[in-house]
Amino acid sequence: MSEKSSINQHELNKFNKTEQEWWDLAGEFKLLHKINPVRIEYISSVIGKQFPLAEANSPFSDLKILDVGSGGGLICAPLCKLGAKVTGLDANAHNTKASSEHAKRNNLDIEYIHKTAEEHVKSSPKYDVVLCLEVVEHVANPKEFVLNLSKMVADGGVLILSTINRTVKSYANAIIMAEYVLGWVPKQTHDHSKFVKPSEFASMLEGSCLRLSELKGLSLSMLSQEWHLSDDIDVNYFASFVDDKKL
């Protein structure tokens, strides 16, 4: 059987950005910077349920974490500061260069690799935590892509995915409002048909060693204009899958 590539070149080209562009708090990735603290909060919560944590200053010490579609390193950097041994994987060479430059300049011990998931899985070690955040909606052959992610999860490990649900509400909020009315992200960043329902993630992972652990929404409070975790998964959401084998 021929290997199916996860690369959608049109989507990949959208993210040909420099370190300065990725880390510009007021730039085109400003929305990612705004939701980043909540993403770290959620990741930390899931990790805390699955693993015994170390002392407070480096709670993720000894944990091996892989971030697939790591971009400019927005998730890798804070996880490294929490003590994890972090690897960032990205199919875009521009992103690997940008994130590596950021890590070097900030004295962060992060390994950034320019490969696709289907390439990395062939020789990959197993990771305690595999992350893939706001990426699945931009890849080709998402089922094969997600299965490859699952193969890199160690016994007793966890896979954390985040994306946008394919609903009428997500079309209104994530495309019409975010792209065309509020200008939070560039126009045509998203394609509604590529959004993924939670049930589709579960279907993709049937036959794997992972089971769905929890779903959590990521919502914006209209009053405070702050992002927070919620039970509303109609638009942005996290899906966590755990491997129940003993650590």
Global pTM reads: 0.94
Mean pLDDT along residues 160-167:
98
Ramachandran angles phi, psi of 66, nearest 5°: -115, 125
Map out the domains of the chain with their CATH numbers: 9-165+197-243 (3.40.50.150)
pLDDT value at residue 1: 40
pLDDT, tens only, 57-74:
789 998 999 999 999 999
Q: In angstroms, rounded to a whole number, what is the distance separating the alpha carbons of residues 62 and 215?
A: 26
Q: Does 35 score more than 80 pLDDT?
A: yes
For residue 247, what pLDDT band results from cuts at 50, 70 and 90? very low
Which residues have CB under 8 Å from 104's CB, separation 6+?
A: none
* pLDDT surpasses 80 at 197: yes
Rounded to whole angstroms, the Cα distance separating 109 from 134 reads 24
Q: What is the mean pLDDT of residues 194-213?
A: 94
Let me know: does 197 contact 163? Beta carbons within 8 Å.
no
The model's pLDDT over 230-244, given as tens digits with 9 standing for 90+, comes to: 999 999 999 999 997
pLDDT of residue 13: 84
Residue 4 reports pLDDT greater than 90: no
Region of 104 on the Ramachandran plot (φ > 0 left; ψ -120 to 50 alpha; else beta): alpha
> Is residue 137 very low, low, confident or very high in pLDDT (cuts 50, 70, 90)?
very high
Name the nearest CA neighbour of 127 among 193, 189, 67, 78: 67
Mean pLDDT of all residues belonging to the chain = 93
Burial class of 80 by CB neighbour count within 10 A (0 to 12, 13 to 18, 19+): buried
